[in-house]
Structure 1
Amino acid sequence: MSDALNPAQLRAYFALTEVTSLLQYAVRQQLQAEGGLSYVQFEILAKLADSDRALTMTELADGVVYSRSGLTHQAGLLEKEGLITRSTSPDDQRATVVDVTDAGRAKVATVLPGHIGVVRELLFDSLDERQVDALGDMMVRARDHLRARPPRSAAPRSARGAQR
């Protein structure tokens, strides 16, 4: 097996990274304009709003693929705004659990229509149903492959700095 990517792999990789960058830029603009939220703050709120229970900081960090220290900072900002609550876990005194407030749910409801509109316009309007299904299948397969690796929170602290 060669170390180099073949031309088709390079084309796919660079197209994927460019699409991701362009889409995230537009989504970030919309979230800031309509809700005063960063992308990671939206991810945190959406993940909590979609969960049927409070999540630990570790679960949240692994779910949104963000560092624990960065997540702690973002959670502090969201808590200050009254959008989430943080408390010590009743099951493990070392763990912090995070939950979304009614104001946090309302914030998600405010920005979600515009978020969906940006994603639909910039990504899905250029594809037919068959292509959307194929893209979904490919992305789920790639995601599952990546998620099969141990989460960042499982890596020893000294090794985490090398992963950034």
Structure 2
Amino acid sequence: MTSPRPSLDATQLGAYFALIEASSLLKHAVEQQLREAGDLSYVQFQLLATLGDSPAGSQRMTDLADGVVYSRSGLTYQAQTLEKRDLVTRTPSSDDERSTTVTITDEGRAVLARVFPGHIAVLDDLLFAPLSRSDVETLADILARARDHMRQTPPRSAAPRRSKKPAGTTDQAR
């Protein structure tokens, strides 16, 4: 005998599919605008925007990976790509020699300034145009609660790295 599968009701399923579809449509339009205006991927834009918003214009790579919910290795590749374009610099962290700090450059800020007007226009047109101010406030509240709930489980980039144990050893032997 099999146990019954958990299920979603029609309203929950509809909300889920609407969220995924709206998110996909918006992300596609935003990515297209970012490519055309600044030759940036969405993750690269997130990286630059996050750095541009931080008081010092710098953050540790691990903190950036957690914030943009991206793998450490993937973010390293994106940061290398941005560094080759002189949009960021990477240096060893002053407070932890194992960490790398990423800092936005003046050129990185210039690219952000170039892409932001079109980025805002896409958001206004696709996301906010059909919504009232009250709708936007409700949406912001709902999404913030859902995000905060999901963030209670640390992102993969924040999970401790598995140690590489020599063959035949156990945790007790270490």
TM-score scaled to structure 1, two decimals? 0.92
- Report the CA distance between 1:2 and its aligned residue: 6.6
SS in 1 for 2:29: helix
Partner of 2:45: 42
Normalized per residue, the structure richer in helix is 1
Matched residue type, 1:11: G
1:161 aligned partner = none
SS in 2 for 1:55: strand
CA-atom RMSD in angstroms? 1.4
Segments of 4+ moved more than 6 angstroms:
none
What is the aligned residue count?
158
1:120 corresponds to 2:111: no
Corresponding residue for residue 96 of structure 1: 100
Q: CA deviation at 1:3?
A: 1.3
Alignment partner, residue 150 of structure 1: 154
Aligned to 2:64: 60
Aligned to 1:135: 139
Say which SS state the counterpart of residue 126 (structure 1) adopts.
Answer: coil
Aligned-residue sequence identity (percent) comes to 58
Q: TM-score scaled to structure 2, two decimals?
A: 0.87
Which consecutive unaligned segments of at least 5 residues does structure 2 have?
A: 163-174
Q: Does structure 1 retain, via aligned residues, the 8 Å contact 2:93–2:99? A: yes
CA contact (8 A) 2:70 2:157 kept: no
Q: CA deviation at 1:154?
A: 3.0
Please identify the structure whose Cα radius of gyration is greater: 2
Q: Distance in 1 between matches of 2:131 and 2:22?
A: 13
Deviates most, 146-155 or 47-56: 146-155
Q: Distance in 2 between matches of 1:124 and 1:51?
A: 26
